[in-house]
Amino acid sequence: MSPLDASLEVTVDGDGQRVQFTLVVENAGHDPVSVTFRDSGDADFAVLTAAGEEVWRWSDGRLFAQTLRPAEFAPGESATFEVEWPDPASGDYTAVGELRIRESEVRAETPFSV
């Protein structure tokens, strides 16, 4: 289990043309937490159908600098990562947001509908 907590908020605009994902990662512990990002893409987001099929991933087709980058979360410190899914198809989905770090899995999931 990771010492970092993650939560994911999904906002669908009024006409269903865009979906905003906001991943918040917080160190809720009493000690600093050191992490190493695998590349320059700090976080990633995916959209899954009820059957678990991936229909969209933010990082697909994107290039990231391939450099390890250390970071530290002080006690109580949080970081926010936001991306947008343009032109989503109507349906019921599960959103997944995760940090792209080496040490452990830090992720959150939430259901949503377009």
Separation of alpha carbons 42 and 28, rounded Å: 19
Q: 6: exposed, middle or buried (C-beta count within 10 Å: 0-12, 13-18, 19+)?
A: buried
Average pLDDT over the chain, rounded to whole? 92
Give the pLDDT score at 2: 66
What is the reported pLDDT for 61?
81
Distance CA 6, CA 22 (A): 10
Structure tokens at 30: 């009493």
pLDDT confidence of residue 14: 76
Question: pLDDT-based confidence at 12, cuts 50/70/90?
Answer: very high
Q: Are 91 and 27 in contact (CB under 8 A)?
A: no
Q: Note the helical H segments in the chain.
A: none
For the whole model, what pTM was predicted? 0.89
60-111 pLDDT, tens digit per residue, is 888 887 888 899 999 999 999 999 998 899 999 999 999 999 988 899 999 9
Q: What is the pLDDT of residue 104?
A: 86
pLDDT of residue 41: 85
